[in-house]
C-alpha cells in the first residue's frame, strides 16, 4: 500500500510538517510527563483511525519503557486500573478535544476541571497544544492514507 501523496517529499507539506514538528517539540519540553504525552497521542490516533501515528507512538512508548499492558489498554482506559488519575484526566481531555464535532458543547467543564486538578497551567497549555498537534498529524496521515507498520522508534530523530 502506498500513500496517496508523499508528505515527506512535497515542499508544501514539508513546510507544514516542519511547523507541526516544531510545535510538538515545544510540548515535549513543557514538563508534561512523557508517558502522558505518548498515551494522549496514542488515544487521539486511535479515535482518528490514524494507523501511522498509532504505530509510531506505540513503538516510541515501548522504546521509552512503557509497558505492553498499559499500551494494550489505552483504548479501554476507563475500565483499566493501570492508569493514574492524572493520566485518566489527560485521556478524557484528549478524547473530548479530539471529538469536538461530536459534542455540541465541545470539551466539558468537568473534563477541564478534572485535568486542572492534576496539571498546572503550563502543563495544561502543553496538553491543549499536544491534543491539537496530534490531531493535525492524524488528519494529514489519514487524508493521504499513510501506511502503518514500518515505523522504527526514533526514526524521525
pLDDT tens string 141-150:
999 999 999 9
More confident residue, 156 or 128: 128
> How long a stretch of residues is the chain?
157
Cα angle, residue 120 at apex, residues 27 and 89 outer, rounded to 5°: 80
Q: Backbone phi, then psi, for 97, in 5-degree steps?
A: -70, -25
pLDDT band at 8 (very low <50, low <70, confident <90, very high): confident
Question: What is the model's pLDDT at position 21?
Answer: 93
Give the model confidence (pLDDT) of 79-130 as tens digits: 999 999 999 999 999 999 999 988 778 899 999 999 999 999 999 999 999 9
d(CA 146, CA 141): 5
Phi-psi category of 103—alpha, beta or left, where left has phi over 0 and alpha has psi -120 to 50? beta
Whole-prediction pTM: 0.95
Question: What is the model's pLDDT at position 141?
Answer: 97
Question: What is the model's pLDDT at position 104?
Answer: 72
Question: What is the model's pLDDT at position 48?
Answer: 97
How many whole angstroms from its chain centre is CA 131?
Answer: 6
Question: What is the model's pLDDT at position 3?
Answer: 94
Phi-psi category of 65—alpha, beta or left, where left has phi over 0 and alpha has psi -120 to 50? left
Going along the chain from its start, the domains and CATH numbers come out as: 34-144 (1.20.1290.10)
Residue 54 has pLDDT above 80, yes or no: yes
Amino acid at each position: 500500500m502506498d500513500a496517496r501523496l508523499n508528505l515527506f517529499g512535497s515542499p508544501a507539506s514539508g513546510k507544514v510538517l516542519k511547523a507541526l514538528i516544531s510545535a510538538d517539540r515545544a510540548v515535549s519540553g513543557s514538563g508534561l510527563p512523557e508517558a502522558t504525552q505518548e498515551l494522549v497521542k496514542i488515544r487521539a490516533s486511535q479515535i482518528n483511525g490514524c494507523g501511522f501515528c498509532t504505530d509510531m507512538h506505540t513503538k516510541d512508548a515501548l522504546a521509552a519503557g512503557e509497558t505492553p499492558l498499559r499500551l494494550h489498554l489505552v483504548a479501554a482506559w476507563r475500565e483499566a486500573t493501570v492508569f493514574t488519575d492524572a493520566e485518566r484526566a489527560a485521556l478524557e481531555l484528549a478524547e473530548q478535544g479530539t471529538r469536538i464535532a461530536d459534542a455540541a458543547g465541545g470539551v466539558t467543564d468537568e473534563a477541564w476541571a478534572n485535568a486542572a486538578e492534576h496539571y498546572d497551567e503550563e502543563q495544561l497549555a502543553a496538553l491543549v497544544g499536544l491534543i491539537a498537534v496530534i490531531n493535525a498529524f492524524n488528519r494529514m496521515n489519514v487524508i493521504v492514507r499513510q501506511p502503518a507498520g514500518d515505523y522504527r522508534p526514533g526514526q524521525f530523530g
